[in-house]
Amino acid sequence: MSTALRLIQASESDTIHLFIMDEIFRGTNSVERLAASVEVLKYLANGKDYTLIATHDLQLTELLDGDHRNFHFRETVSKEGLFFDYQLHSGFSKTRNAIALLAHAGYPNKIVENATKRITNSGI
């Protein structure tokens, strides 16, 4: 929280800034994290400063689409692991890899299968 506040305070000066954040407000409940993140990032979208945000929160990327441009890396999951192309692509990522990584890491099949079913059955 204190880091985000320092960025907000810095943005109020006449100096142009590049703000870089990774998973803003991680570690708090999802409802308040999302609400606070949207408002902070909208505040920083002041037309003067530049903000680079790394997030896995698809809901956040959708809510900020008008104020921020989304980019992503593409990945390939294989038996050998996860590989990124390290090229920026426009828009947000439409792929998922966390459950495949669980399988690759050796998690029990029951966990992998049930997590996959949970996504399929809930429409997540």
Q: Are 81 and 104 in contact (CB under 8 A)?
A: yes
Model's pTM, two decimal places?
A: 0.77
- Residue 19's alpha-carbon distances to 6, 28, 60, in angstroms, are 10, 21, 17
In which band, very low, low, confident or very high, does the pLDDT at 26 lie, cut at 50, 70 and 90?
Answer: confident
Distance CA 49, CA 9 (A): 12
Provide the token pair at 59. 């809901």
The kind and range of the H/E element at 119 are: helix 109-122
Q: What is the mean pLDDT of the chain?
A: 89
